[in-house]
Amino acid sequence: MSEAGEAEVVVVGGGHNGLICAAYLARLGIETILIEARPFVGGCASTVDDLGARFNICHCEHNLVRAMPIIEELDLATYGLKYVETEASSVCAFHDESEPWVIYSDIDKTLSGLAKSHPDQVDGYKRYLKDALPVARLALDLAATQPSSLNFAAKALQKKGQGLSRLIRWSRSSAMEILSRYFTDWHLIMPTISVGPTVWGLSPDTPGTGMAALGYATRHINRVGRPQGGSGSLTDSTRASFEAAGGRVRCGSRVQDVIIQDGAIKGVRLTDGEIINTRTVVAACDPKRVFVDWVGETPRKARKMVDKWRHLPVPEGYESKIDAVLKDLPEPTWGDKIRDAHNGLDPLGQTTIISPSPQDLIQAHEVRSLGKVATKPTMLIDIPSVPDETLKTVSGEHILSLEVLFTPYSIPGGWESSNEPRRWLDIWNSLMKSEGTEKIEKWRVMTPENYENEFSMHKGHTPSFGTAPLSTFFGRDKELTRYKTSIDGLYLSGAATYPGAGIVGISGKNAAYVVSQAIHDRKRLRVSK
């Protein structure tokens, strides 16, 4: 065992990707320290205590990570991870109070519901699934595959090329363009648009957002689940798995810079002056902050890569969230319609997506650039304590989660003096049958400014890997697609790397594999000498 100030690998960033990377490394027998600036691990996948309740920092639907082998390979169930299954995947409702519809994991149940609410769109949904399901299955298989041209080609051959050509075409198109081929009613288009590219601040008309059109298809392949006790159960169990394998966690420690000598990593320096000696650093955080804040004198061979990142503009954040403790459960205006059409389905038992019209979404993009929030923003309404009663307060109260999209980092007069959060509650109230706001006992708001201050997200923005599959196939932007930078011993993981943002975790696993191979090769070379 090395001294406290030394390790084979230092992983910086205790979000789910950093934790997963560290856990795999430790299980491979590689001595690993994980550094996290906050007092607790989890990042935006964590669950925190406030207002006498437990709240998820971000949305708590786990779909993609459950399609990966990570949960089983890290034995997370042994360390407390248990999923609660919701009866439906999502309720799709709208600001214009038009007919809602429901997405189930079960295709037949989804189609049966659509036949009642949107009968003229059933055939389009069937055509969509015929085309989208093979693409979604291939995309998930590729996401779970260690990225290399050989591995990707082998996976495509294994699938007999099913979905490959369409995956390439869709990746070049916009989500709006693709979905418009199948649906003539915008009420069938906007829900997946609302939780697709718009979540990451992109217009659905943007070329390259086409893979977001797979939103419905993936929900039919993998059932949506919620970690019992909140999203943080995933990261807490991963930490336990990591520590059980001998890993060490350092919370409340912030990296000041990486130490580079002779073009290679020699250690990390913390803000309190402590140095941890290591030849390998995995930065599971925003690459721009790594290259701007941590890297001083750049090795010659890395200058092009570092300069690229240093000159990239910093986008503003785009999402805010209200958390509240409820005196009583509200009744949505669409509640009776959902129960009548779906055999008594609890309208509060899953996330409700409140989608704007295409015109309202255009307005949302326009006013966001002016530091304003749309009149009718995209909203995700969730009462997580309904499907998971462990999230009720000690006194038995329910909790509300209200996510609001297209909320800029900077607004006129600043967030502290803004009435916007109160307006969002008024919009939510208008969607309830009775005075919903009267059922709110206490509440708090997280704005892009809060995400910056509390989670080190520059301007409240989460960088997300958005490169086309072909770029990934050929290994362009190797620091993002292959996790290895041009600085010897410095690797990347996290949302900015393949396969991107969201609760997926495969970036952490892939980075661990690349690092372990490099360490193995280094040791083998040393022995041969």
CB-CB contact of 32 with 11 (8 Å): yes
* Model confidence pLDDT, tens digit, residues 278-311: 999 999 999 999 999 999 889 999 999 999 999 9
Number of domains in the chain: 1
Q: What is the mean pLDDT of residues 119-139?
A: 95
CB-CB contact of 323 with 424 (8 Å): no
Please report, for the domain that includes residue 497, its CATH number.
3.50.50.60
* Model confidence pLDDT, tens digit, residues 376-395: 999 999 999 999 999 999 99
CA 193/CA 199 separation, integer angstroms = 9
pLDDT for position 155:
66
CB-CB contact of 76 with 66 (8 Å): no
Alpha helices by DSSP H, listed for 70-121, are 70-73, 107-117
List strand residue ranges (DSSP E) for 271-389, in order: 275-277, 281-283, 319-326, 351-355, 379-382
Domain that holds residue 60: 9-82+228-314+458-528
Helix (H, G, I), strand (E, B) or coil at 366: helix
DSSP state of 261: E
Residue 468, pLDDT > 60, answer: no
DSSP state of 121: G
Residue 148, pLDDT > 70, answer: yes
Residue 1, pLDDT > 60, answer: no
The answer to the question of residue 465 being in a domain is yes
DSSP state of 298: P
The answer to the question of residue 177 being in a domain is no
The answer to the question of residue 492 being in a domain is yes
The answer to the question of residue 510 being in a domain is yes
CB-CB contact of 55 with 324 (8 Å): no
CA 475/CA 477 separation, integer angstroms = 6
CB-CB contact of 401 with 424 (8 Å): no
The candidate with the shortest Cα–Cα distance to 481, out of 489, 471, 490, is 471
CB-CB contact of 25 with 516 (8 Å): yes
By CB atoms closer than 10 A (0-12, 13-18, 19+), residue 502 is: buried
* Model confidence pLDDT, tens digit, residues 392-438: 999 999 999 999 998 999 999 999 999 999 999 999 999 999 888 89
CA 181/CA 491 separation, integer angstroms = 41
The answer to the question of residue 291 being in a domain is yes
Residue 159, pLDDT > 70, answer: no
Q: What is the mean pLDDT of residues 495-509?
A: 91
Residue 473 banded pLDDT, cuts 50, 70, 90: low
The answer to the question of residue 29 being in a domain is yes
Name the amino acid, one letter, at 196: G
The answer to the question of residue 240 being in a domain is yes
Residue 350, pLDDT > 80, answer: yes
% of residues, the chain, pLDDT over 90? 71
Structure tokens at 222: 């993998």
CA angle 7, 480, 276 (to 5 degrees): 15
CB-CB contact of 282 with 515 (8 Å): yes
pLDDT for position 365:
84
The answer to the question of residue 121 being in a domain is no
Where residue 145 falls (left for φ over 0; alpha for ψ -120 to 50; beta otherwise) is beta
